[in-house]
Amino acid sequence: MSDQTEVLNASFTPRIFSGIQPSGNLTLGNYLGALKRFVQKQDEGIETIYCLVDMHAITVWQDPDALKRQTREAAAAFLASGIDPVKSILFNQSQVGAHAELGWLLNCVARLGWMNRMTQFKDKAGKNAEKASLGLYAYPALMAADILVYQATMVPVGDDQKQHVELTRDIAAKFNHDFGVDHFPAPEPLIEGAAARVMSLRDGSKKMSKSDPADASRINMTDDADTIAKKLRKARTDAEPLPETIDGLAERPEARNLVNIYAELAEQTPSQVVAEFAGRGFGDFKPALADLAVSVLAPISGEMKRLMDDPAEIDRILGQGAERADAIARPVVEKTRDIMGMVRSRQV
Ligand code: AQP
């Protein structure tokens, strides 16, 4: 962090914001890259705000009934992973209108050239960019609003989201500069751990993603023990045994991915994992990894099922979280409008 950023951020309450799209089954990538970190941060005594970003999910088509189910299921995944809705604020984005409102204001600050550099749009829109929604293109400005509407100073994310958090800093800096204020902090991406980018089980060059059409490419947080074992058994690897040191994994993306997953699940470093399995083949390693993954995920998926039996309770938690989130976000949006010169005379 530069000295200037440090001075700026020191004038804001330390606050963490992050979100996950309820656009399908949450994956082991979401768990290791995001949820597990969210729980650690919650327990570090910093204010933590976590959001199911349903307005991001609809940047690609979502069946309305499925979106509701996925939102509740994602909330259940947060709670089952250890998010305490008293310690943390947990809600879905669309229930706090300030996100969309600040999103528009920031659309008018962000530059087209910045958006054109965003790799996620290129990946998701693919060759058919003309047919992609305008929302998919503007997604990073809404993400900036999600973070800045809480004046959040830290954003725990997987490695794939780093570019979006950097863009958020650019938008915040341009706003502060254009209006001569220190209204927004420069949020820091927190990217930690061996599994900051969990890769697809079928292709070590692609990240594990909940919207990958191939279910075998990922482990879903709700997969049962047999499914997890089967997916890992079939995971693409090479024929070599595991090397003596992690340097030996440099040109072996699929093997490296499985070692990183093992390390993160076992709370070890990749070097420790390689030292334990050195010289052994995947016939030994994959079943050990499957047992470990099941031991971590089975209690979480069991608790998710229990929570999903009472969707009204999940809705109550999200509603209460939205109230608390709105109390922080509303004054920030109002101040933003004041700074930008919009008349505010309505009595509320
Ligand atoms: N494979 C991954 N490895 C590590 N972290 C990951 N995250 C997602 N996939 C991995 C982290 O999870 C958080 C929420 O991401 P998201 O679901 O909102 O969006 P995404 O990054 O676009 O994830 P998906 O699974 O690929 O979603 P779809 O398929 O709907 O686009 C973020 O912190 C992300 O880094």
Q: Of 214, 240, 219, 242, which is closest to residue 229 (Cα–Cα)?
A: 219
**What are the residue ranges spanned by the domains of the chain?**
3-191+311-340, 215-306
Q: What is the pLDDT of residues 139-160, one digit of tens each?
A: 999 999 999 999 999 999 989 8
Q: Is the CB–ligand 1 distance for residue 29 below 6 Å?
A: yes
In 245-344, which ranges are continuous DSSP H helix? Answer: 253-266, 270-277, 282-308, 311-340
DSSP per-residue letters across 97-132: THHHHHHHHHHTTS-HHHHHT-HHHHHHHGGGGGGS
Of the options 3.40.50.920, 1.10.240.10, 3.30.70.980, 3.40.50.300, the CATH number for the domain spanning 215-306: 1.10.240.10
Tell how far the Cα of 149 is from the centroid of ligand 1, in angstroms: 21
Name the DSSP letter for residue 229. H
End-to-end CA distance of the chain: 40
Q: What is the pLDDT of residue 288?
A: 97
Atom 26 (ligand 1) nearest CA: 209
Cβ–Cβ under 8 Å, residues 99 and 52: no
Tell how far the Cα of 316 is from the centroid of ligand 1, in angstroms: 26
| CA-to-CA dists, residue 208 to 68, 80, 216, 288, 300, angstroms | 23, 21, 10, 20, 19
Give me the mean pLDDT over the 120-147 stretch: 94
pLDDT tops 90 at residue 195: no
Give me the mean pLDDT over the 13-41 stretch: 95
Q: Which residue has the higher pLDDT, 36 or 43?
A: 36
Task: Report the top-level CATH class of 3-191+311-340.
Answer: alpha beta
**Residues tagged active-site:** 124, 207, 210
pTM of structure: 0.95
Q: Is the CB–ligand 1 distance for residue 336 below 6 Å?
A: no
The rounded percent of the chain whose pLDDT value lies above 70 is: 100
Atom of ligand 1 nearest to the CA of 26: 25
Give the CA diameter of the chain: 72
Cβ–Cβ under 8 Å, residues 229 and 294: yes
Instruction: Quote helix, strand, coil % in the chain, to nearest 5.
Output: 60, 10, 30
Give me the mean pLDDT over the 221-232 stretch: 95
Atom 14 (ligand 1) nearest CA: 20
Q: Give the strand pairing for 154-156 and 88-92.
A: unpaired
How many angstroms separate the CA atoms of 271 and 16, rounded? 30
Q: Is the CB–ligand 1 distance for residue 67 below 6 Å?
A: no
Residue 263, classed as helix, strand or coil, is helix
Atom of ligand 1 nearest to the CA of 161: 35
Give me the mean pLDDT over the 277-285 stretch: 95
Q: Is the CB–ligand 1 distance for residue 217 below 6 Å?
A: no
